[in-house]
Amino acid sequence: MAQKLTLISHKLCPYVQRAVIALNEKGVPFERVDIDLANKPDWFLKLSPLGKVPVLVVTGDDGNEVALFESNVICEYIEETQSGAKLHPLDALQRAQHRAWMEFGSTILGELWGLETTGDPAVFESKRQAVAAKFARVEEALGRGPFFAGERFSLVDAVFAPIFRYFDVFDQLIDLSIFADTPKVRAWREELAKRPSVRTAVGPDYPQLLHAFLVRHNAHMLKLAA
Say how far apart CA 101 and CA 156 lie, in whole Å. 6
Contact flag: residue 165 with ligand GSH (CB under 6 A) = no
Contact flag: residue 70 with ligand GSH (CB under 6 A) = yes
Which of 7, 8, 12, 13 is catalytic? The answer is 13
Contacts of residue 66, defined as CB under 8 A and 6 or more positions apart, other chains included, come to 57, 58, 60
Contact flag: residue 49 with ligand GSH (CB under 6 A) = no
* 75 catalytically annotated: no
Residue placing its CB nearer to ligand GSH in the complex, 32 or 186: 32
Contact 211, 165 (CB under 8 A): no
Say how far apart CA 71 and CA 63 lie, in whole Å. 23
Work out which of 7, 13, 115, 149 binds ligand GSH, going by CB under 6 A.
Answer: 13
Q: Classify strands 4-9 and 31-34 as parallel, antiparallel or unpaired.
A: parallel
Work out which of 4, 106, 207, 224 binds ligand GSH, going by CB under 6 A.
Answer: 106
- φ and ψ at residue 159, rounded to 5 degrees: -75, -40
Q: Report the chain's C-alpha Rg in angstroms.
A: 18
Residue placing its CB nearer to ligand GSH in the complex, 164 or 182: 164
Contact flag: residue 15 with ligand GSH (CB under 6 A) = yes
Q: Rounded to the nearest whole angstrom, what is the least distance from the CB of residue 28 to ligand GSH in the complex?
A: 19
Residues forming contacts to ligand GSH in the complex (CB under 6 A) are 10, 13, 15, 37, 51-54, 70-72, 106
Q: Which residues are catalytic?
A: 13
